[in-house]
């Protein structure tokens, strides 16, 4: 079977890691070619071709000006590798408009008889309206694969043909094993790139309640301008208030040593695509503490993990923020997102602003300025800390080590359910289906927007301005 893999870029991390692992798991059975919009920064263990038409657009210049010609260049690259063409084109993250003509390129490939498997890692409808394809319909004849059951259900409910939507979870590689360093800092490790959605302020809030007074170690800073400014604000806030936190902890330090030396690992993210953070810590024999994302964790609990000790919200009195101030910030974020999605704000505002009417608000729904306001109150008043711990009693056990049997159960579940052989088998099944089963989708993009852009999961960290 000959598989051409397409992605906008091959920068280290993220989707590139997923591609690396999939190719490594299946390279003895399949023949791969990877086509990218730009040359990789490092050699890959697979043949690569560059077709600039599928790269990211620049601010004023599209990567592709002629989608049909772009499709022809992709097919020409494939024929240079295989004169008779390939069996399937595996396309990663096609529903993000990082390239404004990408869907038109895919439509042209379909018109030329190419079979496509569209691998959805992220939806633009999930808090990324700037990357939404406003004018182009989603593909109608190609198969999709998704990384969690939630996304499979959402796509089918929005009009995708169920026969053409396949669940292909990511492969989990155990965290690196290493002996604990001779000097072990009392540390809670947050192994993450500090994007806004990773909810850095909540990690700092948790640190105020750690019984062992552990330092929070956040491994990497962000790259995108929209994340860098809030991140720098957190660094300044932490420094000015003497908070126990190390930013960019992995810079100049061995990651395996950080994992081995940590007392436990945390996650406070408000949204995830797959959710490696819920799986990887157990492979290193570490306890995971933090925020649970029920719609993501359902697959993991179904596979045998026990995540019942994680929390779903950190409830904070609304009066600490001010109802009017909170309602106005929500209103502005909703208006901005409605404009991006071509929706009428008037029909939606009331549904969202009622979040400010409750007595309590989840800390993870607040933006950075509001979170810092809450943290300042907690640092200044033991009574405020007692108020928060009273409504969030799980804070009193935060940071303690769970039973060894709990760790072992979760480690075994990860290794059994998300190892390379199992996940490669699921992907291979999707490949075979995409090559042989005809499908007809009629995906309603407005239905996707309604599923993600809703009060139940709304957060200013995702939808609000930085």
The pLDDT of residue 121 is above 70: yes
pLDDT in tens, 124-142: 999 999 899 999 999 999 9
Half-sphere exposure of 9 (CA within 13 A, CB side): 11
- Structure-block tokens of residue 398: 């935060």
| pLDDT 10s digits, 227-239 | 999 999 999 999 9
- Confidence band for 224, pLDDT divided at 50, 70 and 90: confident
Q: What is the pLDDT of residue 60?
A: 86
Query: Which residues, including other chains, have CB under 8 Å from residue 428's CB and lie 6 or more apart?
Result: 26, 29, 30
Q: Is the pLDDT of residue 425 over 90?
A: yes
Q: Please list, in sequence order, all residues whose beta carbon lies within 8 angstroms of the beta carbon of residue 9, skipping any fewer than 6 positions away.
A: 16, 36, 37, 38, 55, 56
* 190-216 tens-digit pLDDT: 999 999 999 999 999 999 999 899 999
- Give the pLDDT of residue 386: 97
- pLDDT surpassing 80 at residue 177: no
3-state secondary structure of 412: helix
Q: What is the pTM of this model?
A: 0.94
pLDDT of residue 180: 65
Task: Give the pLDDT band (50/70/90) at residue 255.
Answer: confident
**61 — alpha (psi -120 to 50), left (phi > 0) or beta?**
beta
What is the edge-to-edge ordering of all strands in the sheet holding 2-7?
48-50, 31-36, 2-7, 88-92, 116-120, 143-146, 165-167
| Contacts of residue 346, Cβ cutoff 8 Å, sequence gap at least 6 | none
pLDDT over 90 percentage in the chain? 87
Q: Residue 165's pLDDT band (boundaries 50, 70, 90)?
A: very high
Burial class (CB in 10 A: 0-12, 13-18, 19+), 462: buried
- Mean pLDDT over 76-97 rounds to 97
Torsion angle in degrees (nearest 10) through CA of 298, 304, 308, 312: -20
Query: Does the pLDDT of residue 182 top 60, yes or no?
Result: no
Mean pLDDT across 305-310: 98
Contacts of 5 (CB under 8 A, 6+ apart): 19, 22, 23, 32, 33, 34, 35, 89, 90, 91, 92
Q: Three-state DSSP class for 193?
A: strand
Domains of the chain as residue ranges with CATH: 2-171+419-448 (3.40.50.2000), 187-313+392-417 (3.40.50.2000)
Rounded to an integer, the average pLDDT of 65-82 is 98
Burial class, 111, CB count within 10 angstroms (exposed 0-12 / middle 13-18 / buried 19+)? exposed
């Amino acid at each position: 079977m000959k598989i051409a893999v397409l992605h906008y870029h091959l920068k280290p991390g993220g989707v590139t890691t997923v591609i690396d692992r999939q190719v490594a798991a299946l390279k003895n059975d399949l023949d791969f070619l990877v086509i990218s919009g730009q040359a990789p920064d490092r050699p890959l263990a697979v043949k690569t071709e560059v077709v600039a038409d599928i790269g990211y657009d620049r601010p004023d210049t599209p990567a592709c000006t002629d989608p049909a010609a772009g499709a022809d260049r992709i097919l020409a690259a494939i024929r240079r590798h295989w004169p008779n063409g390939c069996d399937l084109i595996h396309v990663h993250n096609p529903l993000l408009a990082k390239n404004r003509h990408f869907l038109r390129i895919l439509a042209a490939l379909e018109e030329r008889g190419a079979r496509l498997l569209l691998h959805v890692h992220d939806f633009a409808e999930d808090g990324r309206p700037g990357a939404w394809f406003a004018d182009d319909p989603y593909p109608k004849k190609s198969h999709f694969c998704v990384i969690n059951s939630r996304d499979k259900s959402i796509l089918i409910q929005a009009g995708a043909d169920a026969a053409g939507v396949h669940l292909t979870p990511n492969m989990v590689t155990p965290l690196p094993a290493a002996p604990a360093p001779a000097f072990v800092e009392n540390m809670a490790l947050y192994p993450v790139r500090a994007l806004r959605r990773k909810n850095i302020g909540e990690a700092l809030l948790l640190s105020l309640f750690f019984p062992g007074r552990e330092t929070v170690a956040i491994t990497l800073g962000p790259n995108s301008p929209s994340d860098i400014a809030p991140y720098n604000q957190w660094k300044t806030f932490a420094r000015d208030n003497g908070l126990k936190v190390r930013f960019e902890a992995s810079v100049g330090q061995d990651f395996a040593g950080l994992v081995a030396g940590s007392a436990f690992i945390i996650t406070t993210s408000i949204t995830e695509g797959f959710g490696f953070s819920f799986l990887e810590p157990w492979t290193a024999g570490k306890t995971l503490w933090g925020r649970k994302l029920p719609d993501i964790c359902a697959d993991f609990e179904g596979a045998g993990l026990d995540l019942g000790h994680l929390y779903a919200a950190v409830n904070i009195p609304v009066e600490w923020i001010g109802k009017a101030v909170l309602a106005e910030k929500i209103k502005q974020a909703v208006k901005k997102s409605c404009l991006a999605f071509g929706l009428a704000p008037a029909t939606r505002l009331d549904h969202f602003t009622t979040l400010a009417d409750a007595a309590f608000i989840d800390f993870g729904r607040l933006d950075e300025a509001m979170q810092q306001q809450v943290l300042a109150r907690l640092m200044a008043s033991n009574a405020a800390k007692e108020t928060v711990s009273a409504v969030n009693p799980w804070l009193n056990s935060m940071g303690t080590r769970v039973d060894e049997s709990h760790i072992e159960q979760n480690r075994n579940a990860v290794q059994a359910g998300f190892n390379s052989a199992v996940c490669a088998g699921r992907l291979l099944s999707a490949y075979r289906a995409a090559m042989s089963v005809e499908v007809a989708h009629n995906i309603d993009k407005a239905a996707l927007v309604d599923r993600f852009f809703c009060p139940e999961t709304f957060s200013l960290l995702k939808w609000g301005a930085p």
